[in-house]
Amino acid sequence: DSGVTQTPKHLITATGQRVTLRCSPRSGDLSVYWYQQSLDQGLQFLIQYYNGEERAKGNILERFSAQQFPDLHSELNLSSLELGDSALYFCASSVSQGPWEQYFGPGTRLTVT
């Protein structure tokens, strides 16, 4: 158990819908990262927040957005869902100082039908 929690574990929704994935980092970690894992694209970095502010951006679609709240938990919002958005979404967290080792949560499996 990494100490990072994610809810829900599974999510099934229809195309065109909007969902919110939630992540709570390890105690004391200021950075939260979001990743998408699919058979087609592999593991892709989406976005990083550090102490409430966006710090790094990867291949995140415009339909997706994220935020980190004052209590450091983070949410990833996915809208206008398409079949291709079906994937495993991981959240990870790390401490503010090096070596920036990231600890991954259990993931949310999203199925878009």
Partner 1 sequence: ELKVEQNPLFLSMQEGKNYTIYCNYSTTSDRLYWYRQDPGKSLESLFVLLSNGAVKQEGRLMASLDTKARLSTLHITAAVHDLSATYFCAVDMGTGTASKLTFGTGTRLQVTL
For partner 1 (CB under 8 A), the number of binding residues is 27
Decide: is 96 part of the binding site for partner 1 (CB under 8 A): yes
102, 93 contact by CB (below 8 A): yes
Closer to partner 1 by Cβ: residue 1 or 62: 1
Among residues 42 and 70, whose Cβ is nearest to partner 1?
42
Query: Closest separation between CB of residue 80 and partner 1, Å?
Result: 25
Span of 14-22, 60-68, 70-78, 94-102 interacting with partner 1 by CB under 8 A: 94-102
Q: Is 85 helix (H, G, I), strand (E, B) or coil?
A: helix
Strands, E assignment, 1-113? 5-7, 10-13, 19-24, 31-38, 42-50, 53-57, 64-68, 74-78, 87-94, 103-104, 108-112
Near partner 1 in 9-68, by CB under 8 A: 31, 33, 35, 42-45, 48, 50, 55-56, 58
Q: Which stretch binds partner 1 (CB under 8 A): 13-21, 60-68, 69-77, 98-106?
A: 98-106
Strand pairing category for 64-68 and 74-78: antiparallel
